[in-house]
Amino acid sequence: MKTYDFQASSAFVEIFDIAPYRSGVLDGLSFAVKDNIDIRGRFTSYGSKPWREAHPRAAYHAVCVEQLLMAGARCVGKTIADEFTYSLDGESYFYGTPVNPRAPDRIPGGSSSGSASAVACGLVDFALGTDCGGSIRIPASLCGVCGMRPSLHRISEAGVLPFAPSVSTVGVLARNLPVLSRAMRVLLRSHDLARPPVKNIYLLKEAFELADPAIQDALSGCVAQFGRLPHVNVTSISLRDITGLNVSLRSCNEDALRVLQTAEIANAIGGWIEDNQPEQGPNFRAGYRNVENFDRSAMSDALNLCEALFARVAAFVRPGDVFCYPTAPVLAPKKGVLTGRNLDAVLDYYGRTMAVTSFAGVARLPEITLPLAQVDGIPVGLSLATGHYQDEFLLDTSLRLWDSASQS
């Protein structure tokens, strides 16, 4: 793999150096911060140069940044985010496309594109990102690094620009699982408690069916290795089996996550865009038309469905249970493909990808993506998820399963 420096990676909006406040469990580690998260004395762009120019410098670090500095980590820069974090492709109209070092002709994924690129290029040990419809998990998977979306609102979002509060959360991308675990346990304020061993691994049937055959084949060895673990039961299961509701992953996305996302984006940035009419990239502009044309009467049903899915999944999960599925159902598309000129490609990428990512999103589950496979050198991530607020169990279990899958 080619070596990239800070400039060649195209991952950063700004490069700086903030020393840790004191020694701690993250001593010796460096991190970067997605540019929708505040750094004291610096502008927060939200992926938009007009937004950056219209808003004052941050008066304080975001709380999540303070936690990492207090634990001994060093902050070295702010990374590119997709425009208003409303994308999963990582091709920024204002700041350019961060490199995907494992597949340089392909997108890094978004909206935490710069964070994934900075980690994958080896420029930082880990990076902060945010995730609504997959904005940590997808770029982590496409760039071949680890990423974690924690239980919803488990990490403080003070100092993080609002997006879709019903489904958005702060999380971490890291070069390996031990580093991910160290950083996440700081942010989660974890305590050393006894946790159950993994007992059941549920393969989410629809997620595998949505995936390209090459991805299914690439992950088959990992899944087979899980089945050889002692005292672990591996079972294929559908969303209907889990919830008892007549819903699919596609409806989980289209009737719940996407509706809430569309409605809440309007609350977060709609007024400012309407008043200021800022310059917008063509891809954001095309997507934002859905926000402007959205019938908000659909929001109540989406909220109720989201709550029902959360409650049913929570009632199903028992201690020791883990869900398993491909993080992204497609390989990283080539750069420049996901535009209005290729509407079928756009709809396929977003439709299938967000159907898979919606499972943890609406059920408020912690999810970790692990870079366990590849197709012709292009990274393929495998996701593990578990019950709400069982983040530390997921970290412990992921390490065990990582070791097992690495033997396949």
Q: Clarify whether 181 is annotated catalytic.
A: no
Which one from 48, 135, 168, 358 is the annotated catalytic residue?
135
**Partners of 78 in the beta sheet?**
14, 33
Known active-site residue 2: no
Contact assessment for residue 44 and residue 161, using Cβ atoms and an 8 Å cutoff: yes
Nearest-5° Cα angle at 82, 10 to 340: 105
Q: Which of 45, 87, 92, 111 is catalytic?
A: 111
Hey, what are 192's tokens?
A: 């050393």
In 3D space, the residue among 159, 197, 155, 194 whose CA is nearest the CA of residue 172 turns out to be: 155
* 34 flagged as catalytic: yes
- From the candidates 10, 34, 92, 113, which is the catalytic residue? 34
Catalytic residues: 34, 111, 135
